[in-house]
Amino acid sequence: MSNKEKRKDIPSGPGNEDKEIYDMEEKINAALDKITAAPSENVYDPDEEYESEEEYDPDGEYESEEEYDPDGEYESEEEYDPDEEYESEEEYDLDEEYESEEEYDPDEEYESEEEYDSDEEYEQDEEYEEDTDVFVRKRGKSARPQPVKYVPIDDIDEKMAFPLVRKKKHKGLKITGIVAAMAIVAAGCAYGAASYYYADRFFEGTWINGINCSGMTAYEAEQALAKKVQDYSIQVASREQEPQTITGDQISYQYLSTGETLQLLKAQKPYEWIKGYYEQKSHTVSEKVSYDKTLLQQQVIALNCAKAENQTAPENAYVAFKDNQFQIIPETQGTQLNVKQAYRILDQAVSETQESVDFGTTPEAYVSAAVTQNDPELQSALEACNNYTKASITYTFGDQTATLDGNTIKDWLQFDEKGQLLLDDNTFHQHIADYVAQLAASYNTVGTEREFYTTSGRTVYVSSSVYGWAIDQAAEAAQLSQEIQSGTQTTREPVYSQTANSHGVNDLGNTYIEVDLSNQHMYYYQSGNLVFDSDFVSGNMSYADRQTHAGIFTLYYKKSPDVLRGAKKPDGTYEYEEPVEYWMPFDGGIGFHDAPWRGEFGGDIYLTSGSHGCINLPPENAAVLYSLIDYNVPIVCFY
């Protein structure tokens, strides 16, 4: 008996549980019959339903669906009912409980035909032919619901032995792949759309000049930058003045695009937009602005720091003597504004959109001191001045001394208007010359009058322009200047042009020749001891030009023999010519010599019958004096 006939014999309807069990077994058998059937195409099964009439034509006799009628009873598919119980396929219900195929669920678990699979593994397009055991997979599938197929109950055990799992696994992988592909396509589309969006917009996390430009176009970013400068103002600080503010309106301040913002946007690669969500970038572009420079100049001039009453001139650094030493007194800055330079500084700050500027920290904005404490020349001056204060020159004049040191020298130093030492200052050298002249006035004895105690016991006052101490003032000033500048410390005598036997009031010392013109007698003392004395005849007092001069002299030279001559007459002869054996001049043409033509010496002969001014000596005494007299021995002549 066929499955269909078996099904007709089983009662249906509510309350007949045996029929329900039998129907389920029929379904299972039908599924197993398909699985175990041999492969074959287009195998006929009398009990198998077909999805379409085109598939069924065992003899190739029917051209269309209308020609087919196995029992010759049905005019159309709608009239066909295998069990002669249902008017249409929609009315068929296995247990007479379901209105349509969608409601049918043999295990009460499936909601629709798409979910139903009799063996949980096979699709409904697989058909089983009972007689040939051929398992056929249909390529096409009818849109109409198909009747349930039955399998004989006695074939269940045999059919259940086949593995039925792989098909579902492959189907799951296929679905997963499709879903994944769709997700990738969707993600790609979304990424492409975002790339297109950011083709003319800045990425997220983009900052330009401190402004968040995320998602902005170049124009929008430019507008944001322009808005930033709309309320521009700059605060100006200065020395000893309260800060003042210059607003953009006061100088017609406005923003100008440089095109750098657009270049930044063009440099972006739109497909890299994702970076903006985890990478922030900050850019700096030139904020070019325009403003009225003439108005800016006016604003500078109007500042309080530019007004004359608020300005003080700077003072140069200089060298001064303080705390017993020279040191540099630093310069003072002052508040005298250099208006031109201040304008340049402010102009640059405004062009760079700075919000503040401080003239006080910009020395160029002010008139600066010409000499600062770090000036190399001032440092050299300080070193020189300190050398001057180190200098110490102690002069010796016998038992007396005179010291020149820094306490005096510091007052001689002169500085220019910049506070720098004038090393070649004429005033400084004049101070040195004056100091040397003062030494000469105090210690020179040439040309000075001095007391002299005679052998006869008288005290006389004698002077001389040829004997005594005489400082060479020019030479001494030059040496002193050099020693001061080098900081020399020394003890010495000054440079003399003429010296005497000793220092003190009586610089004659203990070796001298005393010529007493009043008593017409002379004495020669060596180291205080009388070694020679003699009468003499001096110049004739009756003639003014023949008188022997009073004073202190020294020997020029001595010569033996020699010829004494008077003044030369116009005819070339001399007033007189007198040969002598010993000649010792000391005052021009006056000197000691022998006078063999005289028979007497001393007394008052000189008053009327004296010489032409020489000291006439007896020849024997002249010889002794010639042997004793020495250079630099003072010859004191007095009346």
- Return the domain boundaries, the chain: 3-164, 171-200, 201-370, 377-443+471-498, 512-638
pTM: 0.48
| Residues 6+ away with beta carbon under 8 Å from 129 | 33, 37, 40, 43, 44, 45, 48, 136
Low-confidence stretches of the chain (pLDDT beneath 50)? 1-17, 20-21, 31-32, 34-145, 148-151, 153-159, 161-165
State the Cα–Cα distance between residues 56 and 41, nearest whole angstrom: 11
In sequence order, which residues have a C-beta less than 8 Å from that of residue 577 and are 6 or more positions away? Answer: 563, 564, 565, 566
**Interatomic CA distance for residues 508 and 460, integer angstroms:** 14
And the tokens for 454? 């005679």
Residue 222 makes CB contacts below 8 A (sequence gap 6+) with 257, 261
Helix (H, G, I), strand (E, B) or coil at 278: coil
Cβ atoms of 159 and 151 closer than 8 Å = yes
Q: Are strands 233-238 and 356-358 parallel, antiparallel or unpaired?
A: parallel
Q: Could you write out the DSSP letters of every residue in 143-175? A: SS--PPP---GGGHHHHTTS---HHHHHHHHHH
For residue 561, cis peptide bond before it (omega within 30 degrees of 0): yes
**What are the structure tokens assigned to 314, written together?**
């700077």
What is the pLDDT, as a whole number, of residue 214? 93
Residue 33 has a pLDDT of: 55
Distance CA 534, CA 549 (A): 19
513-536 burial, b at 16+ Cβ within 10 Å, e below that, comes to: bbbbbeebbbbbbeeeeeebebbb
- Of the CA atoms within 13 Å of residue 174, those in its CB half-sphere come to 6
Could you tell me the end-to-end alpha-carbon distance of the chain, in angstroms, rounded to an integer?
A: 200
Q: In CATH terms, are 377-443+471-498 and 512-638 the same topology?
A: no
Strands of the sheet containing 583-587, edge to edge, are 583-587, 590-594, 615-617
* Distance between CA atoms of residues 80 and 83, nearest Å: 9
CA distances from 115 to 108, 144, 207 (A): 11, 16, 57
Give CATH for domain 377-443+471-498.
Answer: 3.10.20.800
Q: How far apart are alpha carbons 80 and 101 in whole angstroms?
A: 17
Q: Which pLDDT score, from 0 to 100, does residue 407 have?
A: 87
Query: For residue 615, what are the CA distances in angstroms to 245, 431, 547?
Result: 104, 46, 11
d(CA 555, CA 593): 12
Closest-CA residue to 468 (of 559, 364, 368, 398): 398
The residues with which 568 forms a beta bridge, in sequence order, are: 574
Structure tokens at 257: 């695009």
Alpha-carbon distance of 375 to 252, in angstroms, equals: 44
Q: Do residues 201 and 208 make contact, with C-beta atoms less than 8 angstroms apart?
A: no
Give helix 473-485 / helix 376-390 axis angle, nearest 10°: 120
Residue type, 201: R
- Give the SS3 label for residue 581: coil
CA dihedral 348, 354, 355, 359 (to 10 degrees): -40
pLDDT in tens, 135-158: 444 444 444 445 544 445 444 444
Q: What pLDDT, on the 0 to 100 scale, is given for residue 523? A: 98
For residue 561, CA distances in Å to 333, 567, 582 come to 85, 20, 6
Sign of the CA dihedral 359, 362, 367, 368?
A: positive
Beta strands at 577-580 and 562-565: parallel, antiparallel or unpaired: antiparallel
Q: Which helix (H) or strand (E) holds 389?
A: helix 376-390
- Give, in words, the CATH class of 512-638: mainly beta
Sequence-distant (6+) residues with CB within 8 A of 441 are none
pLDDT at 9: 45
Distance, CA of 251 to CA of 292 (rounded, Å): 5
β-pairing, 521-526 vs 615-617, is unpaired
- The pLDDT value recorded for residue 503 is 87
